[in-house]
Structure 1
Amino acid sequence: RRVRRRTAAAAVVAACVAGGGIWYFGGGSDEDGTTARGPATPVTDLAAPGTQLDGTPAASPSPSPSASQSPSASPSASPSKSPSTAKSPAAPRSKTPSAPAHQPRPTHSAPATHTQPPVPQGDVAQVLALVNQERAKAGCGAVTGDSQLDTAARAHSDDMAARDFFDHTNPDGKDPGDRITAAGYRWSTYGENIARGQQTPASVMDSWMHSPGHRANILNCSFKNLGVGVHDGPGGPWWTQDFGTKL
């Protein structure tokens, strides 16, 4: 498998296929200061028979993104009733004084509104919740769903199903970094897990958590965002997790 070295960053690839094993390819330092060089000893895949999964993290600089803002709520004032006054008899008419010049009412601009990111639904929401449960057990902060990473992950799952391949690099030679960048996500680091055949979010998470390379992606405390894509169809489902951290 081709390994692309990215500038100013380490790249580690973990891959596993049902019935096969896991190999690590690296060229940089990990968090404990050790360095992986060349393929290590294969480790038996712990996924259930008949399922496939694969995972790869990498890191590299990219242009910095714009920061998102949180919406602010504007309090509304409660109306109060004006006291009623007794009417007095009408006074005799006299010369009407001139009315003061009309003063235009000041205009008030409406408070700015900020678009909330879409709330993940269905399988995507369940995978995100299960990932954050595992991260909490490991002392990592929660990852938040990201629509751009969702787009990249969903497109890869669809592509694997449509073109009948199972790999991080598609037949056109595009790797996860290429696909995540094309979706508009400006990343400083990313990781990807893929799987095939597990029927539920719980079962695919169980497979990933029993595979060291995929577990490492899920429990990588440096990741801040997650996108999930699932394609359901004959021979599937195909699952993709794209983790990332923005610049």
Structure 2
Amino acid sequence: MNKLRSLSVILTALISACTAEHHTAIGPSKDSSTAGQRLFKLHNDARRDGLPCGTGEYSSKPLAWNERLAEAAFRHAADMAENKFIRHRGSDGSSSKKRISDSGFAWSKYGENVAYGHRGPEVIVAKWLSLTQHCQNIMDPDYTAMGAAMVDGYWTAVYAKPRLPVIN
């Protein structure tokens, strides 16, 4: 039953993607956070429905939107757009770990998905869900917070588990 439900979620996302209108490039503006919020909703829909990722099947609690993680995602998406590349390491050599830390988010675990494409968040999430490591980032029950952004078709989603304060 879960496999059937998982398949229906993926098929719905793909059908939506195929019928979605073509979106023009979105620059660093309010539209970037709107795209990030749409990505966020699709992530939580997938987590609610549960999906197989590689050899495991996941169902997770919803992620919380985090502005610091969204800023880290935006910085990386803008860097990729400006320098025309798609990878996790920034043009300045920065890692996702550094960008998340620089945003002020105190993390104990983190992950990042990146992509390029102008067809909209439905296509991006469907593609990530079809790739084991990306799917595991989306579905990982340890992650409780997320931020995301898109700049000129370059997408970044950042996931994290907050570091708990040390109690003496």
Question: TM-score of the superposition, structure 1-length normalised?
Answer: 0.48
Equivalent pair of 1:197/1:238 in contact (CA under 8 Å):
yes
3-state secondary structure, aligned to 1:188: strand
Matched, 1:239 2:155: yes
Match of 2:66 among 133, 142, 146: 146
**CA distance in 2: counterparts of 1:164 and 1:179, whole angstroms:** 19
3-state secondary structure, aligned to 2:111: strand
3-state secondary structure, aligned to 2:43: helix
| 2:158 partner letter | D
Structure 1: which 5+ runs fail to align? Answer: 1-119
**CA distance in 2: counterparts of 1:218 and 1:126, whole angstroms:** 14
User: What CA deviation, in whole Å up to 9, does each residue of 1:182-240 have, x standing for no partner?
Assistant: 111110000000000142111111111111110010010100000001002xxxx0000
1:212 aligns to what? 132
**CA distance in 1: counterparts of 2:64 and 2:128, whole angstroms:** 19
**CA distance in 1: counterparts of 2:114 and 2:61, whole angstroms:** 22
2:83 aligns to what? 163
3-state secondary structure, aligned to 1:166: coil
Equivalent pair of 2:46/2:139 in contact (CA under 8 Å):
yes
3-state secondary structure, aligned to 2:143: coil
Equivalent pair of 2:80/2:91 in contact (CA under 8 Å):
no
Measured on the aligned residues, the alpha-carbon RMSD in Å equals: 1.4
Matched, 1:201 2:121: yes
Shift of 1:153: 0.2
Note closer, same or farther for the CA distance 1:165–1:121 as it changes in structure 2 (3 Å cut). Answer: closer
Shift of 1:126: 1.3
Equivalent pair of 2:33/2:149 in contact (CA under 8 Å):
no
Number of matched pairs = 124
Structure 2: which 5+ runs fail to align? Answer: 1-31, 51-58, 164-168
Runs of 4 or more above 3 Å deviation: none
User: What CA deviation, in whole Å up to 9, does each residue of 1:36-88 have, x standing for no partner?
Assistant: xxxxxxxxxxxxxxxxxxxxxxxxxxxxxxxxxxxxxxxxxxxxxxxxxxxxx
Deviates more, 1:162-171 or 1:218-227: 162-171
1:223 aligns to what? 143
Equivalent pair of 1:141/1:221 in contact (CA under 8 Å):
yes
| 1:145 partner letter | W
Report 1:98-137 matches (<5 A).
Answer: 122-137=34-49
Identical amino acids, percent of aligned pairs: 27
Shift of 1:168: 0.6
Shift of 1:145: 0.5
Equivalent pair of 1:198/1:204 in contact (CA under 8 Å):
no
As a proportion of its length, which structure holds more helix?
Answer: 2
With CA pairs under 8 Å and 6+ residues apart, which has the higher RCO, 1 or 2?
Answer: 2
Shift of 1:172: 2.2
Shift of 1:171: 2.8
Shift of 1:121: 5.5
Question: TM-score of the superposition, structure 2-length normalised?
Answer: 0.70
